[in-house]
């Protein structure tokens, strides 16, 4: 039996890390890029007004981006695995909160929870890719960011194909679908 050289093991490990980062990015992208598909059905059901509903998206983007430095501190303190796990759980919780949100306040809280989770996953996966690929930083960051776009395409297409009146139910169905079909 021959031992695998350490360099080869690290080479495989870094590609595995990159693939996991891309998968994680694909799993969280749908809250951001699929949002517009939910605005009209939510407005039709609750009559809150599109502008008031879109405030939730603004809250999501603000928490997704502005909390990344704090989430980076958590990565330094607890490691990327813990931060991505907690971020993924927060995104799942946000989907479920959106599914049952009966008030604007609840929709806004769900947006903040989802933004914090998505930011944790996004920032950690990009940082992890840069760490493992110091020689190919642009490629690693680009592929990881592309996972975010690919994830949105994979989730937006099925959501868009549903009846607009039933789209709000997708908040409850999408996490279950992703868990059933993409998670090991």
pLDDT digits (tens, 9 = 90+) for 68-85: 999 999 999 999 999 999
Flag whether 19 is in a domain. no
Give per-residue pLDDT as tens, 86-128. Answer: 999 999 899 889 888 899 999 999 999 999 999 999 999 999 9
Flag whether 1 is in a domain. no
- Domain span at residue 78 reads 31-178
Interhelix angle 50-66/68-78, nearest 10 degrees: 40
pLDDT-based confidence at residue 9 (cuts at 50, 70, 90)? low
112 against 155, higher pLDDT = 112
Flag whether 6 is in a domain. no
In the block, residue with structure tokens 């020689």: 135
Flag whether 77 is in a domain. yes
Contact 159, 34 (CB under 8 A): yes
Flag whether 86 is in a domain. yes
DSSP symbol at 180 = H
Flag whether 63 is in a domain. yes
Q: Rounding to the nearest 10 degrees, give the CA dihedral for residues 125, 120, 115, 162.
A: 40
Flag whether 93 is in a domain. yes
pTM summary value? 0.82
The dihedral sign for the CA sequence 72, 75, 76, 77: positive
Interatomic CA distance for residues 134 and 80, integer angstroms: 17
Interatomic CA distance for residues 74 and 169, integer angstroms: 33
Q: How many domains are contained in the chain?
A: 1
Average pLDDT in the chain = 84
User: Counting beta carbons within 10 angstroms of the beta carbon of residue 90, is it exposed (0 to 12), middle (13 to 18) or buried (19 or more)?
Assistant: buried
Interatomic CA distance for residues 161 and 175, integer angstroms: 17
Flag whether 4 is in a domain. no
């Amino acid at each position: 039996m021959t031992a695998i050289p350490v360099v080869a093991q690290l080479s495989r490990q870094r590609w595995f890390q990159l693939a996991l980062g891309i998968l994680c990015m694909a799993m969280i992208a749908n809250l951001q890029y699929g949002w517009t598909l939910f605005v009209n059905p939510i407005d039709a059901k609750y009559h809150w007004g599109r502008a008031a509903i879109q405030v939730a998206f603004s809250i999501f983007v603000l928490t997704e981006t502005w909390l990344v430095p704090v989430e980076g501190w958590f990565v330094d303190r607890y490691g990327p695995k813990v931060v991505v796990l907690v971020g993924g759980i927060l995104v799942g919780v946000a989907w479920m909160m959106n599914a049952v949100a009966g008030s604007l306040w609840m929709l806004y809280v769900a947006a903040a929870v989802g933004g914090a989770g998505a930011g944790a996953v996004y920032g950690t996966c990009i940082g992890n890719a840069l760490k493992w690929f110091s020689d190919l930083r642009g490629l690693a960051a680009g592929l990881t960011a592309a996972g975010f776009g690919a994830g949105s395409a994979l989730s937006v297409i099925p959501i868009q194909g549903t009846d607009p009146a039933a789209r709000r139910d997708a908040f409850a169905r999408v996490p279950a679908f992703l868990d059933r079909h993409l998670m090991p």
